[in-house]
Amino acid sequence: MDWTSLRNEFPVTRRWAFLDHAAVAAPTERARRALVEWTDDLAANGVVTEGRWLKRVEESRQLFGRLLNADPLDVAFVKNTSEGIDFVAEGFPWRPGDNVVTSADEYPANLYPWLNLKSRGVEVRRVAIRGPRVDLDDLQAAMDARTRLVSLSFVEYASGFRNDLDAVGTLCRERGAYFFVDAIQGLGVLPLDVQRTPVDFLSADGHKWLLGPEGAGVFYIRRELVELLRPVSVGWNSVVGAWDFSTIDFRLKPHAGRWENGTLNIGGVVALGASLGLLLEIGIDIVEQRVLELTDYLCERALSAGIEVFSSRLPGECSGIVALVVPGADLKELVRRCRGAGIVVNQRAGRLRVSPHCYNTHEEIDRLVEALPRPE
């Protein structure tokens, strides 16, 4: 793979060493062009060329089918991760006394929708983490006969810990619980095959590792579970004959499409598809290898500068997110100072968070490490 020429696909590289994909990524040149083209076409033609863009939405759906190894019909476009989590939290047939198991340190998007179920008698069990790790035995110990669902991130946003989705999904199957994955910190950079990995529901916004604009993401639901959920926020586009407006025939689509209740964020979905097309052309396995190589390099450089790496870098546990401990540093100030030097990183949970994508370079990592304060 020619990583140097790939940089032409990323306008952000002109100004920044951009190492903050766990926050809000800069979309690819293809995504930028798709959005401009859509806006220009809409402004010039309105509904006249709508069919062309609806076709492009379906092409994006096909790409997500390929990404997840799913039937594209099992993928619905959503406005963000939270929307997909709410589809399940609000639509699940809870009974008072049921519980949901999750990790204590999940991003709030994957906690509040479950905590909101208290009034329906559902308990949320937040398993404490051990260092950077969500421990499988701890999850197992928190589960009982009333555990209906486990909800975890693919990759934990603060520590970068990559959950073993195969192991957790298998545990859920054995215990008769469903498995929800907040995939935003992994999808696009780590492979996930829903035919192989027992994931029941998944939601991910597109503005991080998938390199799309904000406000366009995906929700996946295993086909046999469609009838399990009460579809919240149904609309004209949820039904089989959606485009026949003069016939009222309330038969819901038999797949994820029923959750696309109305008009989509067409520009956003098409732009997201443009970026995903690029990632799939490279190959997600190759993207993963590159990101792990860059993050390994970052950890080596940081350690040799005396900076502690908080994230687990064990195979199967490492991801594109590296959390560094920079003792005594005012992290907000450090992030600001890095930006002043043209380097974009972030801080979460009292640590510096660095999250390179495949188009970043070893030189950019060097620049970052050189900009960090050395421990006394």
**Site for ligand PLP (CB under 6 A): how many residues?**
13
CB 73 within 8 A of CB 256: yes
CB of 357 to ligand PLP, least distance (A): 15
Is residue 348 within 8 Å of 283, Cβ to Cβ?
A: no
List CB contacts of 110: < 8 A, sequence separation 6 or more: 81, 85, 102, 151, 152, 153, 182
Closest approach of ligand PLP to the CB of residue 184, in Å = 5
Amino acid in the structure at residue 221: I
Give 159 or 185: the residue with its C-beta nearer to ligand PLP.
Answer: 185
Footprint of ligand PLP on 254-283 (CB under 6 A): none
CB of 7 within 8 A of CB of 28?
A: no
Whichever of 331 and 369 has its CB closer to ligand PLP, that residue is 331
Using CB under 6 A, which of 102, 103, 147, 153 touches ligand PLP? 153
**Judged by CB, which is closer to ligand PLP: 169, or 307?**
169
Amino acid at 6: L
Contact between 319 and ligand PLP by CB under 6 A: the answer reads no
For residue 261, how far is the Cα from the chain centroid? 22
Distance of alpha carbon 242 from alpha carbon 236, whole angstroms: 6
The CA distance from 38 to 18, in Å, is 26
For ligand PLP, the closer of residues 162 and 253 by Cβ is: 162
Binding to ligand PLP by residue 159, rule CB under 6 A? no
105 binds ligand PLP (CB under 6 A): no
Q: Which of 37, 61, 58, 59 is nearest to 49 (CA)?
A: 37
> Smaller CB distance to ligand PLP: residue 82 or 261?
82
Give the number of other Cβ atoms within 10 Å of residue 114's Cβ. 24
* Residue 182 sits in the site that holds ligand PLP (CB under 6 A): yes
CA distance 336 to 281: 35
Instruction: Give SS3 for 35.
Output: helix
Query: How many other β-carbons are positioned within 10 Å of the β-carbon of residue 46?
Result: 9
Q: Which is nearer to ligand PLP, 60 or 110 (CB)?
A: 110
Among 18, 53, 92, 107, binds ligand PLP (CB under 6 A): 107
Please give the Cα distance from 265 to 175 (Å, whole number): 38
Instruction: State the nearest-atom distance from the C-beta of 346 to ligand PLP, in Å.
Output: 10
Query: At its nearest, how many Å lie between ligand PLP and the CB of residue 80?
Result: 3
Residue 79 or 175 having the CB closest to ligand PLP: 79
Q: Which of 200, 205, 260, 288 binds ligand PLP (CB under 6 A)?
A: 205
Q: Does 180 bind ligand PLP (CB under 6 A)?
A: no
Residue with smaller CB distance to ligand PLP, 84 or 267: 84
Axis-axis angle for helices 50-68, 29-45 (nearest 10): 150
Binding span for ligand PLP by CB under 6 A among 138-146, 181-189, 263-271, 281-289 = 181-189
How far apart (Å, rounded) are the C-alpha atoms in residues 218 and 230? Answer: 19
* 205 or 369: CB nearest ligand PLP: 205
Least CB distance from residue 376 to ligand PLP, whole Å?
Answer: 32
217 contacts 78 by C-beta, under 8 angstroms: yes
Using CB under 6 A as the criterion, what x/- string covers residues 20-49 for binding ligand PLP?
------------------------------
Which residues neighbour 294 within 8 Å (Cβ) at sequence distance 6 or greater?
356, 358, 360, 361, 362, 365
Cβ partners under 8 Å of residue 276, min gap 6: 60, 63, 64, 67, 188, 206, 210, 211, 212
Please identify which residue in 26, 68, 109, 322 interacts with ligand PLP, judged by CB under 6 A: 109
Kindly write out the interface string for residues 66-95 of this chain, putting x where it contacts ligand PLP by CB under 6 A and - elsewhere.
--------------xxx-------------
**Closer CB to ligand PLP, 60 or 81, in the complex:** 81
Interacting residues toward ligand PLP by CB under 6 A: 80-82, 107, 109-110, 153, 157, 182, 184-185, 205, 217
